Structure 1
Amino acid sequence: MQEFDLTRRCIAEALGTGILVAAVVGSGIMADALTADDALALVANTIATGAILVVLITMLGPLSGAHFNPAVSLVFALSGSLTRRECSAYVVAQVGGAVAGTALAHLMFDLSPLDISAKVRTGPAQWLSEAVAAFGLVAAILAGIRFRREAVPWLVGLYITAAYWFTASTSFANPAVALARSFTNTFSGIRPGDLPGFVLAELFGAVCALALMRWLFQPARPMTGAG
């Protein structure tokens, strides 16, 4: 795979995270405007998020790895695939892009660029859900890279689509996205005071997935002869 310099990779991370957040927030605003049925609104939000992930990872994966997520970048730093400097630069780009994505979604729907969310998302069930969401996301990425690299965009998009529905938190699974969603007082928002619990749970789930996948992927010891 062709190597790109860190500046280009960070711009790709900012762009991808920004478009991802614009899709999450924008589809939530659109769905909420078109229906009073929360279940139907969540379906619309889910489809938009899963679909854009497939597109973005396919487009930008060869350039930056398409992390779009500080928890994923942390995992790659811990596994030695990113240096600390690269990881820090990725995280800054992801957070900046994510907040810009919220502002972009708001402006497309004629809202003020940023608005503090009042939506409560807290408690043990929500934190456990975020740990599970991040665990599954990282496990899907690592397994995909190990066995079917070309399938990673679909694995991530389909996993997040499913996790929207089997987690109580609707699967943020991403500290940058969670932060960006604290700046929208719309369907997809999260109260800023609830962010620490989400972020810690996401990071914990991601690191647990790395530990388990490392163990799972260790090959069996080769048989040795008697002489």
Structure 2
Amino acid sequence: MVLGRYGGNRHAGAYKNEDGAMLVKGEDWEFAMILDGHNSSESVQLVLKTIDDEFDRLAIILNEPVETAFRSFETSILSIFKSQEFLDACKKVKGETACLLCVRKANYLWWLSIGDCLIYLFYEELHKLGQYVLNQRQFFEWIGEVNTFSLPVPCYSSGIRELRTGNNRILLLTDGVVECGGRYYENANHLYLDCYGHSVKNSVNQVLQFVLKSLGRDSATIISWDYHNQFSCTYPSN
């Protein structure tokens, strides 16, 4: 698992870095979380500390059979974010954050997205069909001072995707990657071409070098890793 960090360009007016990330690797799973704060990093720090404090319990859930692990994990994450203790803590911070969580276990990928961070699954067969992004950016969802989990009905998106047979490239990023350089990487095909077929480390470096050369003002964070799936995958009947 590779973590790429870009702090923003002062020549373009950057004066703060409010991104955050967390990576954990288990025996048969990987967990990644990426955050993009607004109006301070306090909300990012709160979410990171909260999940870190709970992670021993969450890791036990991830060691369950895959048939139950994702459902139990999502229920636990939602319970944490909706708890009165966490909601009260959110009221005391300045600013709010987008938050994207992801787990790979067996031949499946689960994610939960609050806000406008992005997760991609790159695979040659999917590339030919123009399929790259797993979630959609949501511009009015956050955790923190402004908190969509304090609504009567919390707002978020989640999903599970079957991984394809062979090498799957998983990529999470904050919006500092896609909102620079004429929004070059808003076209996910450009991101695929610069990532798939190269080593994870080199592809992350190449993307962040583009952000740097484009004088990206906002901080940009990337988490990426490969998973080689030996299981067969679903195809149509004919």
Q: TM-score range by the shorter chain?
A: 0.3 to 0.5
More strand by share: 2
Q: TM-score, normalised by structure 1?
A: 0.34
Q: TM-score, normalised by structure 2?
A: 0.33
More helix by share: 1
